[in-house]
Structure 1
Amino acid sequence: MMKGHFNVAHHTASPLGHLLRWYELHRQREELARLSDATLHDLGLSRADIQQEAERHFWDDPLRK
C-alpha cells in the first residue's frame, strides 16, 4: 500500500464503510485522470481507458461485482 492510501474494502459492512470506500474510489479515479500520457503508456493504459474509469459513478465499485 502506498503512503497516504488506506484500504477500506473490508470495512464496507457499515454505512460509514460504504462512504469511505466511495470516497476512496472517487479519489483514485481523479488521481488516475491526472496521470501523464507517458505514465499511462508505461502502465499499458490509454487515455480512453482512464476516461472511461474516471466517468464511472462513485458507487460503481469493481470489488462488489
Structure 2
Amino acid sequence: MQALSLSTAAGARRAPSIVSRVVTALKLARTRQSLSKLDDHMLADIGLTREEARRESERPLWDAPRSWTC
C-alpha cells in the first residue's frame, strides 16, 4: 500500500492559513485607517487625492487585491 503524501509539490503554493488571513486583514485595516489620516500634502506625495484616499479607506476588508492576500 502506498502512503499519501501531505507535502506540496515543489514550487506549489499552499493556501494561506486562517491565522495568516486574519493577520493580513488586520494589517490592511490599519493601513487603510492610516491612509485616511494623511493630510493633503502627504497624499500628494504618494499621488492620491483626498477622494481616492477616502474611497480606499472605506473599502471592506474582503475587498483587497489578490496579491495582498496570498
Shorter-chain TM band: 0.7 to 0.9
In 2, Cα distance between the equivalents of 1:36 and 1:58? 23
Is 1:28 the counterpart of 2:31? The answer is: yes
RMSD, matched Cα: 1.8
Extract unaligned runs of 5+ from structure 2: 1-14
TM-score (norm 1): 0.73
In 1, Cα distance between the equivalents of 2:30 and 2:66? 16
Q: Using CA pairs below 8 Å that are at least 6 residues apart, which structure has the higher relative contact order?
A: 2
Number of equivalences: 54
Q: Of the two, which has the highest radius of gyration?
A: 2
Identity across matched positions, percent: 33
TM-score (norm 2): 0.69
Select the structure that is richer in helix: 1
Extract unaligned runs of 5+ from structure 1: 1-11
Q: Which runs of 4+ in 1 moved over 3 A?
A: none
